[in-house]
Structure 1
Amino acid sequence: MKTDADAAPLPMLYRLYTAGAQIASPILDRMARKKLQRAGVSKARLHERAGVASQERPLGKLLWIHAVSVGETLSILDVIKELRQQAPRMTVLLTTTTTTSAELASKRLPEGCIHQFAPLDTPAATKRFLDHWQPDLVTFVESEIWPHQIASVHDAEIPLALINARLSEKSLMSWGKRADLARALFGRFSLVLCQTDPVRDGLRAFVQEPWKVVTSGDLKKSSDPLPVNDLQKARLAQAIAERPFWLASSTHAGEEEAMSAAHKHFVAQHADGLMILLPRHPERGPEIADMLRTEGWRVAMRSKDEAIAPDTQIYLADTLGETGLFYSLSTLVFIGGSFVPVGGHNPYEPAHMGCAILHGPLYANFAQAYADMAEQEASMEVADAAALGQALCALWGDDEVALLQANAKFYIEASRNIRKDVAGHLLALIAP
């Protein structure tokens, strides 16, 4: 399939960007290599960001998907599985920029897939990468807009897609101020699949063929449930027993104090109440524990194998990869990143587990999801710590919890076909 040869011309701003990238290329290469080296990446892979491949290209069709980090990688793992099911002879090349996403890829990519660190958006790195891998289709995820790579892929007449596109209103306004560049770049995509209608409408202003930009829905909504260790679940369930408890998930600095204040409301009504606190960044565990103990709480830390005792008031789940475990145990869940200006976090994961979901007012990254869930009575917004505490007390043991749980489960189950549709759209771009 050939790409659209009539895309808008590349403006002077693009040429200045490319010239700057070319001049800075040696410095950028060195910085990327040192960063990978510090992270313990093997010597054979240290030059991947310079476009130097550490593996041979397999025969046959190859689809290159770029997902910058862990969040984007998690959102497309099930799409990759779907692609492999629909086209088992095709190789999927996944690129990311972080070592944590590389570790995730090594554990969860299906057979027939390759991971490499993404090439820098410089002329030399992009050329080396494309010359070696010669992809039949290139797919960027969410908001990955790399000008030189977009232009180079288009010049090579390789179809280019943007999937799960997510741009904030502020980002769209910023692109509008550079409309010539936006038209030149977005016009070079063969297909843009957007999470929401507002993103679709915003991006259509930059393309000549609006039908290429459509709403597909959020891929995170269509992902499989998070993994759960059944043995650990049984042990924790036994330790919690019949105690009233709630989960504060993906909290950030500044939110743990609010969780503490909310829990004071909870234990005032339920003397044996327990909070499970799962911080977004587990390495903050020791400082969080110190703060909570200073406030007088009896805290057990999972990272130190401290068990939930009868007098434990807060269980600090400061470990990686166990979010699904705690969602599977919980009835009431507060999703963090929504009391501080982070933009909120994924409500789909707890919805898969049938949790009753509460969140704060700051959720710009999932505005459409929370709006839809609120309309379907599948989540509840609370304004602050006091409101959260009151909601927890009102909901525990009330019939409204079962309604929130059922609605959340229905909301997520209705989105199962998104990943199949996205995979079908991508495969249709690859010439037979």
Structure 2
Amino acid sequence: MRAPPLYHLYVAATVLLAPFVAWAQIRKLRKQGIPALRAHEIMGNASAPRRGGGALIWFHAASVGESLSVLALIAKMGEMLPRAQFLITSGTATSAKLVADRIPPRTVHQFAPLDARGPLTRFLSHWRPDAAIFVESELWPQMLRMTRARGTAMALVNARLSAKSRAAWARQPGIARYVLDVFDLILTQNDQMAQAMVDMHAPTDRVARGTNLKSLSAPLPTDPALLAQVRAALKGRPVWVAASTHPGEEATVLAAHATLQASHPELVLILIPRHPDRSAEVAELIRQAGLSFATRSEGVLPRAGEQIYLADTLGELGNWYALSEIVFLGGSLHPIGGHNPFEVVQARAVVISGPHVASFAETYDEMQASGAATVVEDAPMLAQTVARFLDDAELRDEALRAGDVMLEDKSNVLGGIASRLIRMLKLDEDIR
């Protein structure tokens, strides 16, 4: 397929802009504690060898959620392809840290190369992937076309584009067709997105409905020693969790907790802002609300009489979920899109959410219908819902059982997706 003029213009622009973008990105990674050797991976300079043996399968994701969503898929494909090697790339320091903590066997993480000819040439020449699997909305034109030009089999999984992104691609049908033509298989999260990809000129015979990979991810890791310490510090006090909160949501959560203190004076709230660098801001909100608290990043545990534990660290979410059967999931009281409810259900907790869950709309419809999730809109509703689950063990158990059933229904899907990718990407010969 001939490249449209806009693609050539984009390529020319990257030649001019790449040095400036590289400088800014490397500087950002270095400030976040990434060693210089690793930060320069964005220039295509590999910091690890390509191992021999079977096929090398490259997974490319954008950031934390996308990266973590494919780890279970990599592990499953690794079981089915015992000789294969895996490479996962992402763009943020946070994703690199979390992936490193949970990385599957025979898998290497690297920072993704910039979408420019020099970095991509170095990257592809070193890694020589036999198959490339892109996640959600990672549609970088040069990365896709240069990878395809090497004869690499390619797939897009968990495909999801926002309405704004779809509109932008729709205004450029030529380049949309040119970019999407690289994929041998496009698996979307739902039927609506499958139709959207076809409307964007993806090859109709290569588009199929998959599932939301976040529903298939492994449970969040926990630290038994830390859990024992925190449980000892709590001394049996009841706990609820507000996780992945964004600006504007903490005030609602704190108002709900203040209300709950009247009927449940021993109740502890574990408050987990989505971005730990907002810790000081959230701490000030707690002070203004007149509530007492301890802060995880200061190395202290919840103390007697303190009403809130501010969990402002990365990579410990699984521990906090394990301490309560009641979790409010943020990113949902305002139009942010919501966060992954499956991680909550896997921790055997009931899900409470705001109404703005566009990123998981189909999932929440299913969970609400089964009773595994409850949607609230404001502080009084949140306080009332938490109180009901605290006081009614039977109601809480019903919601937990509904979550168990949902997870069981999903348990066989992962193997089916892995098998489909192996077949469509012609990796079958690596099975021995």
TM-score, normalised with respect to structure 1: 0.92
1:60-86 CA-to-partner distances (Å, cap 9, x unmatched) read 421111112222111111111112211
Contact 1:136 1:430 in 2 (8 A): no
The equivalent of 1:119 in structure 2 is 113
State how many pairs are aligned. 425
User: Identity of paired residues, percent?
Assistant: 38
Matches within 5 A, 1:89-100: 89-100=83-94
Distance in 2 between residues matched to 1:283 and 1:418, nearest whole Å: 37
Matches within 5 A, 1:75-224: 75-207=69-201, 209-224=203-218
1:414 is paired with a residue whose SS is helix
Distance in 2 between residues matched to 1:374 and 1:329, nearest whole Å: 23
Do structure 1's residue 406 and structure 2's residue 401 form an aligned pair? yes
Do structure 1's residue 44 and structure 2's residue 40 form an aligned pair? no
The equivalent of 1:341 in structure 2 is 335
Contact 2:68 2:99 in 1 (8 A): no
1:189 is paired with a residue whose SS is coil
- Summarize the Cα distance change of 1:36–1:358 in structure 2 as closer, same or farther, 3 Å threshold: closer
- Summarize the Cα distance change of 1:45–1:334 in structure 2 as closer, same or farther, 3 Å threshold: closer
Unaligned runs of 5+ in 2: none
| Structure 2 counterpart of 1:23, one-letter code | L
| Structure 2 counterpart of 1:354, one-letter code | R
1:187-210 CA-to-partner distances (Å, cap 9, x unmatched) read 221111111221111112244642
| Structure 2 counterpart of 1:367, one-letter code | A
How far the C-alpha of 1:46 sits from its partner, in A, is 4.0
- Summarize the Cα distance change of 1:404–1:10 in structure 2 as closer, same or farther, 3 Å threshold: same
How far the C-alpha of 1:169 sits from its partner, in A, is 3.0
1:20-53 CA-to-partner distances (Å, cap 9, x unmatched) read 1122233333333333333343343343212222
Identify the match of residue 48 of structure 2 among 49, 55, 66: 55
Distance in 1 between residues matched to 2:155 and 2:182, nearest whole Å: 9
Matches within 5 A, 1:267-282: 267-282=261-276
Moved over 6 A (4+): none
1:328-373 CA-to-partner distances (Å, cap 9, x unmatched) read 1212111011112321111011111221111011112211211121
Identify the match of residue 422 of structure 2 among 408, 418, 427: 427
How far the C-alpha of 1:177 sits from its partner, in A, is 2.2
Identify the match of residue 264 of structure 1 among 258, 264, 270: 258
Do structure 1's residue 363 and structure 2's residue 354 form an aligned pair? no
Matches within 5 A, 1:366-385: 366-385=360-379
Distance in 2 between residues matched to 1:183 and 1:66, nearest whole Å: 21
| Structure 1 counterpart of 2:252, one-letter code | A
Contact 1:143 1:167 in 2 (8 A): yes
CA RMSD of aligned residues (A): 2.0
How far the C-alpha of 1:148 sits from its partner, in A, is 0.9
The equivalent of 1:31 in structure 2 is 24
| Structure 2 counterpart of 1:50, one-letter code | M
- Summarize the Cα distance change of 1:357–1:45 in structure 2 as closer, same or farther, 3 Å threshold: closer
Distance in 1 between residues matched to 2:267 and 2:32, nearest whole Å: 41
The equivalent of 2:413 in structure 1 is 418
| Structure 2 counterpart of 1:55, one-letter code | A
Identify the match of residue 64 of structure 2 among 34, 47, 70: 70
The equivalent of 1:4 in structure 2 is none
1:210-263 CA-to-partner distances (Å, cap 9, x unmatched) read 231112211111111111222332333343344333111111121111111111
1:153 is paired with a residue whose SS is helix
Distance in 2 between residues matched to 1:300 and 1:55, nearest whole Å: 41
Contact 2:239 2:323 in 1 (8 A): no
Q: After the TM superposition, which of the residue ranges 178-187 and 167-176 deviates more from structure 2? A: 167-176
Matches within 5 A, 1:191-340: 191-207=185-201, 209-340=203-334
Contact 1:255 1:339 in 2 (8 A): yes
Contact 1:221 1:348 in 2 (8 A): yes
1:396 is paired with a residue whose SS is helix
Contact 1:378 1:405 in 2 (8 A): yes
How far the C-alpha of 1:374 sits from its partner, in A, is 1.2
Distance in 2 between residues matched to 1:402 and 1:339, nearest whole Å: 25
| Structure 2 counterpart of 1:59, one-letter code | G
- Summarize the Cα distance change of 1:120–1:234 in structure 2 as closer, same or farther, 3 Å threshold: same
Q: After the TM superposition, which of the residue ranges 152-161 and 357-366 deviates more from structure 2? A: 152-161
Unaligned runs of 5+ in 1: 1-6
Distance in 2 between residues matched to 1:180 and 1:267, nearest whole Å: 59
